[in-house]
């Protein structure tokens, strides 16, 4: 026990002795939390919208006004011909071209129907899909208003009965994307900092030669790993605490569930990440090697965690691989507890898998540490 305490004390001294390390550990990740939570969004705004109005009537003007009133579209210009509009899209000046045909109003009044031509820059397929949804919503809204304006008294008598759906948004009533992203970004920062710190820890001592001094002592392998792991375990809790405070104060992220449950799960999750970092550190000879290997794994884990892209949209082989991704489970737990108010029974599947990973990774860390002089 005294040996473990000595290693822990030694690690804390090294951390706090290096004054430049503390801002890197605490301040930079929190700045990243603020920046990424604002920047990492799939909401499409400021869409550069243009139109070709071949009708120039009150109805065509009303449709264009709908787009001008939308918060998603920025009407940048109008064109007199499709050739000019296509040239502007080729240069990247516009994202969407709406072409209103001649006799748009006449066809609505006479036939109660007409067609619109919409051209969308689809280099970014995901963004184009979202833009298409926005356009269809505006056109449907205009169409509904136009039908009401064109209805005759006899149409009201023969009007068919319709079913109206009433939508209720749970867990994120304002549909604020930051509410969805902040818990995930917080997971990302806690993971990256603790993995990199633990991954470079043992290998740093190899480089400066202090590991040999430790190896000649009667310390056991598991004591050495526990002593190395504990300081970064505490740092992980510190990062989580400050991140939760910023999430609430800056982004007003709801925390419906128990904070105690968040910390309880995090305790085991940090064991997984720190065990992985120490395992990497045991097999590398330089800090650069450890950093590159840790970065390789963390990028794969992040991209396959469901943080930025839904796991359900991935190929089946990728979905199977995510079952071995600990970040996936932490992201799920954070969102379930903070946004849904989930209790311990709700997160049992994620907890037992994380516990299994923690035992495996720390067992590998102890096994891989070679106590040689």
pLDDT of the residue at 259: 92
**Given strand 117-120, what is the order of strands in its sheet?**
73-78, 47-53, 96-100, 117-120
Domains of the chain by range and CATH? 2-40+176-368 (no CATH), 47-153 (3.40.1710.10)
pLDDT of amino acid 322: 92
Instruction: Answer yes or no: are the C-beta atoms of 266 and 237 closer than 8 Å.
Output: yes
pLDDT in tens, the chain (373 residues): 566 676 676 666 666 666 666 667 767 777 878 787 777 666 778 899 999 999 888 888 988 999 998 888 999 888 988 889 989 888 888 999 999 888 888 877 777 777 888 999 988 777 888 888 889 889 888 887 776 665 555 554 555 554 545 666 677 777 677 888 888 888 988 898 888 888 887 787 777 766 666 666 667 777 778 878 888 898 889 889 988 998 888 888 888 989 999 999 999 999 999 999 988 888 888 888 888 898 898 889 988 888 877 888 788 999 999 999 999 999 999 999 998 889 999 999 999 999 999 999 999 888 887 765 4
Question: What pLDDT does residue 373 have?
Answer: 47
Q: How far is CA 20 from CA 2, 16, 26, 28, in A?
A: 29, 9, 11, 11
- pLDDT, residue 331, reads 92
- CA–CA distance, 43 with 30 (Å, rounded to integer): 23
Torsion region of 101: left, alpha or beta (phi above 0 gives left; psi -120 to 50 gives alpha): beta
């Amino acid at each position: 026990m005294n040996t473990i305490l000595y290693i822990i004390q030694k690690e804390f001294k090294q951390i706090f002795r290096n004054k430049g390390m503390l801002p890197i550990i605490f301040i930079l990740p929190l700045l990243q939390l603020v920046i990424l939570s604002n920047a990492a969004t799939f909401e499409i705004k400021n869409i550069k919208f243009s139109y070709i109005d071949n009708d120039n009537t009150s109805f065509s003007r009303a449709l264009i006004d709908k787009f001008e009133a939308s918060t998603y579209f920025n009407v940048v210009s109008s064109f007199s011909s499709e050739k000019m509009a296509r040239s502007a899209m080729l240069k990247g000046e516009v994202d969407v071209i709406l072409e209103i045909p001649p006799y748009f109003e006449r066809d609505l009044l006479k036939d109660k129907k007409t067609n619109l031509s919409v051209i969308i820059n689809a280099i970014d397929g995901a963004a184009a899909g979202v833009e298409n949804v926005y356009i269809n919503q505006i056109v449907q809204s205009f169409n509904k208003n136009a039908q009401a304006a064109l209805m005759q008294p006899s149409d009201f008598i023969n009007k068919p009965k319709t079913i109206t759906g009433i939508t209720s948004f749970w867990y994120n009533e304002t549909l604020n994307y930051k509410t969805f992203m902040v818990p995930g970004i917080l997971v990302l920062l806690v993971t990256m900092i603790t993995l990199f710190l633990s991954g470079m820890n043992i290998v740093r001592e190899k480089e400066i030669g202090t590991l040999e001094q430790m190896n000649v002592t009667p310390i056991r392998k598991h004591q050495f790993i526990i002593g190395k792991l504990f300081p970064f375990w505490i740092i992980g809790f510190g990062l989580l605490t400050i991140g939760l405070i910023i999430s609430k104060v800056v982004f007003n992220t709801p925390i419906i569930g128990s904070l105690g449950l968040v910390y309880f799960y995090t305790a085991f999750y940090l064991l997984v990440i720190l065990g992985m970092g120490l395992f990497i550190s045991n097999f590398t000879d330089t800090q650069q090697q450890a950093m590159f290997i840790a970065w390789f794994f963390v990028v794969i884990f992040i991209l396959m965690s469901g943080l930025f892209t839904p796991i359900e949209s991935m190929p089946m082989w990728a979905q199977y691989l995510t079952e071995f991704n600990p970040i996936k489970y932490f992201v799920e737990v954070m969102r379930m507890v903070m946004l849904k108010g989930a209790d311990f029974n709700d997160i049992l599947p994620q907890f037992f898998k994380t516990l299994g990973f923690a035992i495996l990774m720390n067992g590998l860390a102890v096994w891989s540490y070679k106590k040689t002089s």
